[in-house]
Structure 1
């Protein structure tokens, strides 16, 4: 798997990440969602550099201009609910893409530290020969991305796969690397070193879904 960690080079992305992490800025849900969306736009721009391009002539009022345009048939698949702002950021740049949505959540069995990933809702177009962008803002243990990709198998075989995340943990990145082939690309804004005993990224930013949309009842 090819890993593109964007904070290895300084850019305006650092500002968005710092605000996402900041407990004071997090109180503004609209700004939190917008920062996730902006990170998605930056990641989408970087991802676009490895797509396939062909020359195309564009008619202007004064003549013709030749420009290279992307030719990939893209499907953006996001994991609900935290993935919605990230999905919107990607869709802002890949606006002709097809879209897929999947619900995947942690189901805790006997204690808070043990869980399995449950996939329930799934809406997806045919993936055969497409460029699949699988978006999940928090790459913690990596189990959600792996479970989601397995659930997409009946919908066809993508030509290529790109994983997009905002913040990851090194153990989760290592786990994903073992389960996706070497041609898969991971586009991620930043990677932290640790997971705590509940499988959350440290220092991370907390629960992205709750920060974006409000606290949920546990059942």
Structure 2
């Protein structure tokens, strides 16, 4: 694991996740396997990252053999899931399956301009009213490389009025996770399945996973 990252960056130590990450890194992993591995890693990572969600008692219910028990649940009405298009879509189903009730999904379309590596927003369906802002926003994006895309997403959600942000990434690079974590440190936690030290001159994580969006959607060579 890399050293020197901010304290609000968390790198999974789960052995099953780390083994699946090694499988995902391989150039021989096909699109169907890539989709499955991204889902599984997101499931394991999300379970870790959401382990401190507040649990509340919502009355009582009755078991099939007639005994009363306290009904515990999580208020999902103030949680929203924010996938970064395209590749963030590969993590959505896993996080939905962890939560006990449906949550809203607000998509952000961001891409890195090839020369400057700066994020360009092309789609944003966040509500305009602050009164409808979620308390917790969960950003899902498999790769946190330069961190510029994550920073732009954090800025948009902070402007919307969220109280807390959790950023979930399959793999991050030290420069990127540091930049994301430092954008709004008091309100943001960054969770990644693994972390690499370096970026290439094209802003790709090294050794990394390649372009995970292209691998998920078979658009390599576009």
The equivalent position to 2:201 in structure 1, one of 182, 197, 203, is 197
Alignment of 1:109-128 (within 5 A): 112=115, 114-125=116-127, 128=133
CA shift, 1:48, in A, is: 2.2
CA RMSD of aligned residues (A): 1.9
CA shift, 1:193, in A, is: 0.6
Q: Which runs of 5+ in 1 are unaligned?
A: none
- Contact conserved, 1:82 with 1:137, CA < 8 A, in 2? yes
Distance in 2 (alpha carbons) for counterparts of 1:92 and 1:10: 19
Distance in 1 (alpha carbons) for counterparts of 2:201 and 2:49: 33
Distance in 2 (alpha carbons) for counterparts of 1:193 and 1:152: 28
Distance in 2 (alpha carbons) for counterparts of 1:119 and 1:98: 21
- CA separation of 1:10/1:178 partners in 2, compared to 1, >3 Å: closer, same or farther? closer
Distance in 1 (alpha carbons) for counterparts of 2:157 and 2:170: 22
Please state whether the residue corresponding to 2:162 is helix, strand or coil: coil
1:20 maps to which residue?
24
- Contact conserved, 1:79 with 1:103, CA < 8 A, in 2? yes
1:75 maps to which residue?
80
Distance in 2 (alpha carbons) for counterparts of 1:119 and 1:129: 21
2:96 maps to which residue?
91
Distance in 1 (alpha carbons) for counterparts of 2:14 and 2:72: 28
Distance in 2 (alpha carbons) for counterparts of 1:49 and 1:145: 22
The equivalent position to 1:208 in structure 2, one of 184, 209, 212, is 212
Provide the TM-score with structure 1 as the length reference. 0.87
Equivalent residues, number: 209
- Contact conserved, 2:171 with 2:208, CA < 8 A, in 1? yes
Q: Which runs of 5+ in 2 are unaligned?
A: 1-6
Alignment of 1:127-206 (within 5 A): 128-153=133-158, 156-206=160-210
- Contact conserved, 2:82 with 2:138, CA < 8 A, in 1? yes
Distance in 1 (alpha carbons) for counterparts of 2:175 and 2:117: 16
Q: List per-residue Cα deviations over 1:123-146 (Å, max 9, x = no partner).
A: 234652421001111000000011
Provide the TM-score with structure 2 as the length reference. 0.86
1:104 maps to which residue?
110
1:58 maps to which residue?
61
CA shift, 1:16, in A, is: 1.4
Distance in 2 (alpha carbons) for counterparts of 1:23 and 1:49: 33
